[in-house]
Structures are given as C-alpha cells and as structure tokens.
Amino acid sequence: MVSVIVPARNEEASLADCLQSLVAQSGVEFEIIVVDDHSTDRTREIAESFPGVRVIEAGPLPEGWTGKNNAVTCGARQAHGEWLLFTDADTVHLPGSLAAALKEAQENGAEMLSYSPEQIAVTFWEIATLPVVFAELARQYSPSKVSDPASPIAAANGQYILIRRETYDAVGGHAAVARDILEDVALARAVKSSGRKIRFRYAADRVRTRMYRNYSQLRDGWTKNLALLFPNPGRLAAKMLLLWAIPWTALTIAVIAKHPWWDTFAASALLFTVARLRRANFDAVMTFLGALFGMPMFAYLLLRSKRAHANGSVGWKGRTYGPKNDSVSPLIDHTQTHTPTPAGRLS
C-alpha cells in the first residue's frame, strides 16, 4: 500500500483539485492523509469534504523545525503504507500516475522516486521567470546525474517524492532534516549517501503544478529557496545579467552604427540565451519571454534570496526562518501562540 501524505497550510485555492486527482487514482491500494498545518482558511473543511481522506492536525511546531518538516513527519507517523508519497497541495495527479510511479520505482530498483512536475504558469512573471529558474536547476541538478548511483549529485522535488517506508525510516525521515528549508534535497542526499538508489526526472506525464499564483508568492517562494539551491548565487546573478545584456548591447550598437555585422551578432546572442533555456521544458513563447525578461528577474531573486538568508529573515506563509543557510533557528510562527514542544520519534 502507498500512503499519500499532503501537507497543507492555507491551501484552499488548490487543495480540492489536488485531492480530486488523488482519490481518482486506481491500480494500487492507497490511503490519503492530509496534514492541516494550522491553516486559517478553509483548508481543513475542503479536506474533510472528501470521503476516505484522513485529515489530521500538525502538532505544535518544535523549536528550530520548519513547518513543512513538522507537518510531513506528523503524517508519516500516521501512515500505514510500505511506500510513502509526499506531495504538495498545489499538485494535480494524472489518472493512473500513482500506480505507474510505483511500478517505475520498482522496475528501476529505486528506493526514492522524485518527479519534477509540469509547471503551469498564468501571470506574466510566472511565464517569464519559470523557464530561467528551471533551466538553471536542470543545469545544476542534472536528472541523469541525480539518477546515477556513481554520481555524488543528489536532488529531489518536494512536490512529488515517493519513497520506500523502510528507507525513509532508515535515514531518519524528515526528522533528520528538520532544520532544512530545502528539505527535499536534504532528504535526497541522505538517501543517496546511504547507498540507496534515487530516480529523478521531469514528469509531465504524471503530475503538474502551479507553484505560485501571483507575483508576491513567486518572489517570496524563490527568495526562500534560490540561495540554497545554487552554491554561488551572487556569481550566478552576475552571469545571468551579463548573458541578458550582451544581445541588448549589441542591438543598441547595431542601431547606432548601422552595420549588419552587429545585427547578426545581436541575433546570435539572443538565440544563444534562448537555447540555454530550452532544457527547462517550456514552450517556445515562454522560453523567448524568459530570455527577454526572465533573466534579470532571476538575477534579482538570486540576490534577494542571498541577502534574506544572510540576514536571517526568510519569510514564508506567516513564519520567519533564520539565520542563513538551511538552519531555521530561531523560528517565529506568526500564527501560533503556544509554546513549541519537541516532536516524537518516528514509529
């Protein structure tokens, strides 16, 4: 059996679609556990409206833990499956994807299978920024290298992590990475360093998601993650700005100098930046907009993330994490007034 664990904190905009796609799965025995992480909207009401879905409350947030790590750990304690699927409330799962994912993991001898979902973008900044972010992620965390046991590179996407329960407990689960904001990558590193196999790939054939629904969510979400995902965010930001500026500079010179060579150079430079973004699996329009507008936005987010982590002021969903790096102590939860107590051990 697979235990599907969905942490949810103020997810009324997306949870219903997620659960509708999960309860419709077939071909494998499964249970669904929604962990309400102290939501103040209709999240719990929506979850309870789905027959067969078990809804539990995340326990008090232990000192130094991230909210998500606390929520999924609470869910794992209640799970009965031989496999655990951790998936976010903003995901939509294609018919038959759960059975297919389990089969894929077993056939490939993978103890952990993680999918990078198809990313749905609606607003302008989603459309322009996501191709740049995911192109650079694919460059930093090549799926082929992550899936190669001989490579030290480990990564996972927390929107979809299927892991054998025995493996999860053996590496300490999310409790072992409780302080990590980037808990998906930290968990993947723990699994791979233990000698167990990871499989990681882009999976538009299995799951899709819309991560952020407006500019402020996009800004805050990537501010939380980017400085942890890339080892030299300042250097990468400078590189992005340089790559973006070259074709525009060449075009400006072409207009002033009126020499065809500069037109050719500007076009070639722009095509190079577009080609760099193609690995992100977005269509041609989004890739082109990413080259025009997304690269400076990505540079801004990298620098904003670097500064936030350095200052220990990373905010997300009403909580503030710090200081820098993956540590989240001290942690202030602006929606809770109780005194945190330590979380128990995994059963």
CB atoms within 10 A of CB 116: 25
pLDDT confidence tier of residue 333, bands split at 50, 70 and 90: very low
DSSP bridge partners of 198? 112
pLDDT of residue 73: 97
The proportion of the chain whose per-residue pLDDT surpasses 70, expressed as a percent, equals 93
pLDDT surpassing 60 at residue 211: yes
pLDDT surpassing 70 at residue 132: yes
> Do the Cβ atoms of 211 and 90 come closer than 8 Å?
yes
pLDDT surpassing 70 at residue 346: no
pLDDT surpassing 50 at residue 116: yes
Considering only CA atoms, give the Rg of the chain: 21
- Please state the domain extents for the chain: 2-121+135-213, 228-333
> What average pLDDT does range 108-128 have in this prediction?
97
- Return the top range by mean pLDDT from 254-258, 267-271, 287-291: 287-291
> What average pLDDT does range 255-284 have in this prediction?
86
Q: Hunting for tokens 């890339």 — which residue is that? A: 230
Q: Hunting for tokens 């930093």 — which residue is that? A: 140
Alpha carbon of residue 8 to chain centroid: 14
pLDDT confidence tier of residue 323, bands split at 50, 70 and 90: low
Identity of the residue numbered 222? W
pLDDT of residue 344: 32
Q: What is the pLDDT of residues 69-83, one digit of tens each?
A: 999 999 999 999 999
CA–CA distances in Å: residue 320 to residues 56, 57, 315, 332:
24, 21, 4, 5
pLDDT confidence tier of residue 255, bands split at 50, 70 and 90: confident
> What average pLDDT does range 208-223 have in this prediction?
94
- Between residues 265 and 113, the one the model is more confident about: 113
Just give the CATH number of 2-121+135-213: 3.90.550.10
pLDDT confidence tier of residue 84, bands split at 50, 70 and 90: very high
Instruction: Please tell me the distance from the alpha carbon of residue 282 to that of residue 191, in angstroms, as a whole number.
Output: 30
Of 196-200, 279-283, 336-340, the poorest mean pLDDT is in 336-340
Q: Taking all residues of the chain, what is their mean pLDDT, rounded to a whole number?
A: 90
Q: What is the pTM of this model?
A: 0.88
Instruction: Please tell me the distance from the alpha carbon of residue 262 to that of residue 250, in angstroms, as a whole number.
Output: 6
